[in-house]
Amino acid sequence: MSALFEHSPWVEARADARPSSGNRYHDLMEVVYDAPRDEKLALIRAHPELAGRAAIDGSLTEASAAEQASAGLDRLTPAEFERFHALNAAYRDRFDFPFIICVRLTDKAGILAAMERRLAHDRDTEIATAIAEIGKIVLLRLEDQA
């Protein structure tokens, strides 16, 4: 099994246990969308904070480290680092899970703007947004495997 979903091999295992539609991405995301809310939250919570503790201590998965580096999150100025840290804390306090965005499709400024904008969302909207962003991450990871 690959590491398409951060620390969540159950998604791929369930997809593999079902009849295939012939579209791997569709099969994987169907498992996610069909999962109970608590499992969706566990999936979201399995993701690291952007430019957070895991990035500092080197415990990011290889895929996450490369993705965060692609957006320049491994080269933050002290002011940028503080801004990310403050927004991560505010986001986690509001929603009780980390901010998720497909960093390969944006840059530092875009991520910061999205963090600020999404803090105004309600929790249900943000859960749906996080799952959609995970879908984008998975699609790119699948394309990398092809």
Give the active site residues: 47
Q: Other CB atoms closer than 10 Å to residue 6's CB: what's the count?
A: 20
Looking from the CA of 83 toward its CB, the CA atoms found within 13 Å total 14
Alpha helices in the chain (DSSP H): 9-17, 24-34, 37-45, 53-57, 62-70, 78-95, 108-118, 123-145
